[in-house]
Chains A and B, each alone.
Chain A
Amino acid sequence: MTVSVDTIKQIIRPYGDTTGDAMVQVSFTLPVPHGPRAESAALQLAGKMGLDPATVVHSKPMGPDFTFFIVYGKATHLIDYAGIVVPEGREYPLLTPKQVNLAIKSVLGRKLVVVGACIGTDAHTVGIDAILNVKGFAGEKGLEYYREIEVHNLGAQVEVAELVARAKEADADAVLVSQVVTQKSAHIHNTKQMAAAFADAYPTSVTGGLGRPLLVAGGPRFDTVRAADLGVDRIFGKGTTPGEVASYLVAALVPSWSPE
Chain B
Amino acid sequence: MSKLGLDPAVVAKARRLAARAAEPIIEMARTHTTVSVERAVLRLAGVTGADADGTPWVNRIADAVREQVGLEHGVALPVFHALREHQDPRELVRARFEVPEGAHAVRAGKRAREAVARGIARIDANRAERDRLLGKHGDPDPPWVYLIVATGDIHEDIPQAQAAAREGADVIAVIRSTGQSLLDFVPEGATRQGYAGTYATQENFRLMRAALDEVSGELGRYVRLTNYASGLCMPEIATLAGLERLDMMLNDCMYGIIFRDINPKRTFIDQRFSRQIHARAGIVINTGEDNYLTTADAVDAAHTVIASQLLNERFGHEAGLADAQLGLGHAFEINPDLPDSFRLELAHAQLVRELFPDAPLKYMPPTKHMTGNIFAGYLLDAFFNLAGVLTGQSIILIGMMTEGIHTPWLSDRDLALENVRYVRRAAGALAEDFHPAPGGLIVERARRVLSETVDLLDRVADDGLLNAIADGVFGVTRRPADRGKGLDGVIVQADGYYNPATEILQERP
Contacts and interface: CB of A to CB of B under 8 A. Distances in A.
Interface string A207-248: 000000000000000000000000000000000000000000
Contact of A62 (B178, B261, B370, B410): B410
A129 B367 contact: no
A70 to B, nearest CB: 10
A149 interface: no
26 contacts: A27-B411, A29-B410, A29-B411, A62-B163, A62-B167, A62-B414, A63-B163, A68-B415, A124-B179, A126-B178, A126-B179, A130-B178, A133-B261, A134-B258, A134-B259, A134-B475, A134-B477, A139-B367, A139-B370, A139-B403, A141-B294, A144-B261, A144-B477, A145-B295, A145-B476, A145-B477
A68 B295 contact: no
B260 A135 contact: yes
A81 interface: no
B166 A125 contact: no
Contacts of B422: none
Contacts of A68: 410-411, 414-415
A243 to B, nearest CB: 13
Given A126-B179, A139-B367, A139-B404, A63 B166 contact: yes
B182 interface: yes
A155 interface: yes
Top 8 closest pairs, chain A to chain B, by CB: A139-B404, A126-B179, A135-B259, A63-B163, A62-B414, A29-B411, A68-B411, A134-B477
A140 to B, nearest CB: 9
A63 B167 contact: yes
B179 A125 contact: yes
Interface in A113-133: 124-126, 129-130, 133
A57 interface: no
A99 interface: no
Nearest to B417: A62
B485 interface: yes
A150 B366 CA distance: 29
A134 B370 CA distance: 19
A173 to B, nearest CB: 19
Contacts, number: 56
A138 interface: yes
Contacts of B261: 133-134, 144, 153
Interface in B317-367: 367
Chain A residues touching B, range: 20 to 34
A66 interface: yes
Given A138-B404, A145-B295, A29 B409 contact: yes
Nearest to B368: A139
A138 B405 CA distance: 7
Contacts of B409: 29
Nearest to A140: B404
A141 B295 contact: yes
Nearest to A64: B166
Contacts of B411: 27-29, 62, 68
A143 to B, nearest CB: 11
Nearest to A29: B411
Given A29-B409, A126-B179, A134-B295, 9 more contacts: A27-B411, A29-B411, A66-B163, A68-B415, A125-B179, A130-B178, A141-B294, A144-B261, A145-B476
B143 to A, nearest CB: 22
Contacts of A124: 179
A139 B409 CA distance: 17
Interface in B220-274: 258-261
Nearest to B165: A63
Nearest to B403: A139
A158 to B, nearest CB: 13
Nearest to B291: A135
A133 B260 contact: yes
A99 B261 CA distance: 25
Contacts of B166: 63
A134 B258 CA distance: 8
Interface string A144-171: 1100000001010000000000000000
**Central interface residue in A135, A138, A144, by most chain B CB within 10 Å:** A135
Interface in B354-408: 367-368, 370, 403-404
A34 to B, nearest CB: 12
